[in-house]
Every structure is written in structure tokens, then in C-alpha cells.
Copies of this chain bind each other. A is one copy, B any other.
Amino acid sequence: MKKRPYTCGLDAALDVMGGKWKALILWDLQDGPCRFGELRRSVQGISERVLILQLRELQASGLVHRESYHEVPPKVEYSLTDFGRSLMASLVPLGEWGEANMRRITDASLERDRPAP
């Protein structure tokens, strides 16, 4: 049951960069092309499998480009496309909001997990 006819721009945008990892991956790619292994290390906590899945989806959305130099040992570089960079640009205010309110967000999320004293 896909919901393609999005109800608003936010909806569409989140479909493409929402989820647990995509923003982190894109964030790391901002500093320039990254190899698979580099990403796995910098996006700490992600499993190899999930990283691949997310990268594939980001490629399919046109946000990320994959360049494979077929050497030995294998070398693959992921980078932001122009489209991806345009996304990141419009994510700047949100990132700043999160940065500015991180304390508050953290506290609220801690409270949510605590039952009752």
C-alpha cells in the first residue's frame, strides 16, 4: 500500500531522506566522496547490510552517486549528486534547529522511556 500521491512537500521529502540512517549517511557524504568502508566506520552503529540497503535507496532517489573503480582490491566511492546537495542545502535550518534544541530533545526523549517514579 504505497502512498505515492504525497499530501505535501514535507511528506515527499521525508519519504526520500527519512528513517534512522539516511540523514546520517548524507551528512557524512557532505565532506566529499566516501568509500564504503569509510562510511561504515563513520556512521557508527550501522550494519553493513543496512548501509548497503540505504545507499541503494539513496541512489534510486538520485541523491547519491556510486562510482566503482574496478581495481583490486575493489574500490567504490559514494558521493552526493547535485540533487543530493540541493537537499542538504534545504536541510540546513532543520539541522540548526536540532543542534540548538538538542538538550531539550534529549531530555524529552529520556522522560518518554522512563515509566513512573
Q: Using a CB–CB distance below 8 Å, which chain A residues touch chain B?
A: 2-16, 18-19, 23-24, 27, 44-45, 57, 60-62, 83, 86-87, 89-102, 104-106, 108-113
Contacts and interface: CB of A to CB of B under 8 A. Distances in A.
Contacts of A111: 60
12 contacts: A4-B110, A6-B102, A7-B24, A7-B44, A8-B99, A9-B95, A11-B27, A16-B98, A18-B19, A60-B111, A60-B112, A62-B108
Copies of this chain present in the complex amount to 2
Contacts of A94: 9-10, 13, 90-91, 93-94
A45 B5 CA distance: 12
A27 to B, nearest CB: 6
B2 A27 contact: no
A50 to B, nearest CB: 14
Given A3-B45, A14-B18, A18-B19, A9 B109 contact: no
A39 B85 CA distance: 34
Contact of A10 (B2, B62, B95, B110): B95
